[in-house]
Structure 1
Amino acid sequence: MTNLLPPARLGHIAANRATGDAAYRVLPPEDFAIARTEITAWDGYAETPLESLAALAGHIGVGEVLYKDEGPRFGLGSFKALGGSYAAQRVLQREVSKAVGACVTLADIRTGKYADECARITLVSATDGNHGRSLAWGCQRFGAPCRIYIHAEVSEGRAQAMRDLGAEVIRIEGDYDESVRLAKSEAEENGWFVVSDTSWPGYSLPPRDVMSGYGVMTQEINEALDRAPTHVFLQGGVGGLAAGVVAGLRQYWGDAMPRVIVVEPELAACLFESAKTGTATTVAIDEETLMAGLSCGEPSELAWEILAEGVSDFLTIPEAIVAPSVRLLARPLDGDMAIEAGESAIAGLAALIAIRQDAVLSQKLGIDGQSRILLIGSEGVTDPEIFATIMREEVAA
């Protein structure tokens, strides 16, 4: 086997898993069911493809590699379309119900029955790009004003995509976590409503709704398979995606659920550090990772409850293998489908290939010729300029 990526040293910690019922308690099956019923009724809903990368699997010596490509999701380019938009709808449902003194349904919000009331409710959030785009899209659909806070390193292309959906975009000089703090404080001052994918003490309903929306993706995967994968690689970030998928896998497969491996950039490894300490742990981000959607220093405490019980291993990957993995997916081995993906989408792919170039780590993780691997391609090309730059790097090299 020839190496597909530059040599890379991965950080690894085997989780000291807790026991408990977080996969059912934090995200009950009925919450997943409500989200699925509503989201599949939205105009434009379609299942995203689950691609088999057979040539890659053969080259790296595993039984199967499956890649869930979230690029086509609602035309927004990422799995986040399932979370922020749905959470926005739920906030509007709750607040309009209070305003009119009656039980308002999700369908009422979707069909515009209370359009005047929605127009008086401002929703806000901080984002690295995809969550904000999803929230802006949802607000545009449901008729609510939207304010999105972005940090200094968010690309202008991603900012403009949110403006094009009607959001007011506020850029700050600091990092993602500082934009979260500003969104919270200005919402409190003005009577706006935060729709975040991360939780904190006293704030859990919208993050729970976000993760429930992600369950649609997990259910699509589960129902496409005749047996559980042996391993699933999940992106880190604040932990919402990973927690939503872990809960969905646990509820569907039970004791047969796959071994879950969380992957983060070594520049933003808050879940890796949380695994070390055994509690949700914030880290400082001194340098931004190319995987913009994963540049998060503060984990969601709600998500961590699920991850602490459901994740077997935490990995960090270096920046040097990110761009080559994007190029490998776009220009694949003969026989595999070419997939254009964003930088955050390839975290699991990069980690898997690097693992198979390391016999010791492969053994630690139980990955061999019979392993069936599931990867979550969390985003397509959400910033064409960045993607084009990544693809040109190969020519320059």
Structure 2
Amino acid sequence: MLLANPNATRQPYPEALKNIMNIANAQESREWLSHWTGLNRGATPLYALPDLAAELGVGQLRVKDESRRSALGSFKALGAPIALVRLILRRFPEQRFDVPALLAGEYRHALADFTVISATDGNHGRALAAAAQSVGCRCVIVLHANVSVEREQAIAAYGAKIVRISGNYDESVEEAAAQAYRNGWRVVSDTSYEGYEDIPRDVMQGYGTIAAEIIEAHAEGFTHVFLQGGVGGLAAGIASYLWELQGEQRPTFVVVEPEQADCLYQSALAGRAAKASGSVDSVMAGLACGETSPLAWKFLQPGVDFFMTIEDSDAVRAMGRLAAGSARDIPLEAGESAVAGLAALQRLAEAPSLAAEIGLNANSRVLLISTEGATAPGVYAELVGESAESVRTRQQRWTPGA
């Protein structure tokens, strides 16, 4: 389903939003992240896929590949470390920690009794566990019933204590908050709730690195940007950066989420942060969220032009198309949640009236962000019919026109 947001605006980036998130703080976050050994050096690739663009009837199609961001395999490696660093600086102002030294673990003796906790669908928790291991504090991660064993093991590998619950993502968020209260721990979550906005803001601010790299690599800019839904953090982080930079000339933003985890779609209908209407369970595990982040909604309500829902089968089809590549399109390893934007584009290409409503045509320059690789390799192989390792091998051997 496609919904035009009645509250979207083309005005310059509002000062009220700039006071919460802005390019200056995003650039500071980016500079700090450059000192963390948990990230690969340099920007992630921005691939042009001309054959796929032709299939979809658009002029240009580029994909930002966040699977290459770090060994963590996802964009979440940008958010959790920044949130943890800023939390520690606020919590221990008297220590005057130097950020590069903090990320290098030089103050681990001072942080040995400091504990952070978070709920996760997988990627955020893994990034937080890795960052906590680097700085030397303790980390507890709450996982709900639908998080795969593969993802649990990947998080535990960074030394985090794992707590399993039988409920869904939103119930794991509640459990993390309850344990933090009982034990005097600090929640480092990527979703906000009443009285809890500073840390989710810092997480979203870290995602500005992606937008900065995109602008540096493609100065021409884009007419349309498709962004994953979830609680809204990634979409708010990217859209706010491009909105502040480009003002009234910003791209058309389309946010995409699973039809059964449609909290942002429902928020657009209600005109306020709302809950999903479905079961939430989705193959797109990173987007299987039932409640919109109220903080993210402050940016999405005025800044996103369209909200769209897709089916799980759409995501599986999109994963296969990126993995396959073509004569002019490099094969790409993209996980279940990474392909939401492409899945939406494929659906729109099959419905010309909806594509026209969004303004997609042969002159459109479209940006997609592939947010993760095969963070659950077994699930990936089952859905695509090929292992992620095989796709990466074909990618390494690929040459245009071959």
The question of whether the paired residues in 1 share the 8 Å contact of 2:3 and 2:306 is answered with yes
* Letter aligned with residue 48 of structure 2: S
Structure 2: how far apart are the matches of 1:68 and 1:23? Answer: 26
Equivalent residue for 1:67, pick from 60, 63, 67: 63
TM-fit CA distance, 1:257: 1.4
Structure 2: how far apart are the matches of 1:212 and 1:148? Answer: 22
The question of whether the paired residues in 1 share the 8 Å contact of 2:264 and 2:276 is answered with no
Structure 2: how far apart are the matches of 1:269 and 1:70? Answer: 24
Aligned to 1:91: 87
TM-fit CA distance, 1:226: 1.9
Aligned to 2:390: none
Q: How does 1:298-337 map to 2 (within 5 A)?
A: 298-337=291-330
* Letter aligned with residue 167 of structure 2: G
Aligned to 1:28: 22
Aligned to 1:146: 139
TM-fit CA distance, 1:334: 2.6
**Cα-Cα RMSD:** 1.6
Structure 1: how far apart are the matches of 2:278 and 2:167? Answer: 10
Aligned to 1:230: 223
Aligned to 1:39: 33
Structure 2: how far apart are the matches of 1:121 and 1:22? Answer: 33
* Letter aligned with residue 344 of structure 2: A
SS of the counterpart of 1:200? coil
Structure 1: how far apart are the matches of 2:15 and 2:64? Answer: 27
Structure 2: how far apart are the matches of 1:219 and 1:287? Answer: 32
Bigger mean CA deviation after superposition, 323-332 or 276-285:
276-285
Q: TM-score, normalised by structure 2?
A: 0.92
Structure 2: how far apart are the matches of 1:34 and 1:287? Answer: 35
Aligned to 1:370: 363
The question of whether the paired residues in 1 share the 8 Å contact of 2:22 and 2:244 is answered with no
Equivalent residue for 1:175, pick from 168, 181, 185: 168
The question of whether the paired residues in 2 share the 8 Å contact of 1:22 and 1:305 is answered with no
Q: How does 1:227-306 map to 2 (within 5 A)?
A: 227-283=220-276, 285-306=278-299
Aligned to 2:186: 193
Q: How does 1:376-387 map to 2 (within 5 A)?
A: 376-387=369-380
Identical positions, percent:
43
- Pair 1:327–1:388, CA change in 2 (3 A): same
Are residue 165 (structure 1) and residue 161 (structure 2) matched? no
The question of whether the paired residues in 1 share the 8 Å contact of 2:273 and 2:297 is answered with yes
The question of whether the paired residues in 1 share the 8 Å contact of 2:47 and 2:63 is answered with yes
SS of the counterpart of 2:255? strand
* Letter aligned with residue 149 of structure 2: E
Aligned to 2:400: none
* Letter aligned with residue 104 of structure 1: F
Are residue 105 (structure 1) and residue 101 (structure 2) matched? no
Higher relative contact order (CA 8 A, sep 6+): 1
Are residue 353 (structure 1) and residue 346 (structure 2) matched? yes
Q: Deviations over 1:18-74 (max 9, x none)?
A: 664454122023211210110122223321000001111112211000100000112
For structure 2, the residue ranges without an aligned partner over 5 or more in a row are: 387-402
SS of the counterpart of 1:354? helix
Structure 1: how far apart are the matches of 2:16 and 2:282? Answer: 30
TM-fit CA distance, 1:102: 4.1
Equivalent residue for 2:7, pick from 6, 9, 16: 16
TM-fit CA distance, 1:284: 5.3
TM-fit CA distance, 1:122: 0.4
Structure 2: how far apart are the matches of 1:364 and 1:206? Answer: 36
- How many residues get paired? 382
Q: TM-score, normalised by structure 1?
A: 0.93
Q: Deviations over 1:80-110 (max 9, x none)?
A: 000012211222222232xxx3433323412
SS of the counterpart of 1:115? coil
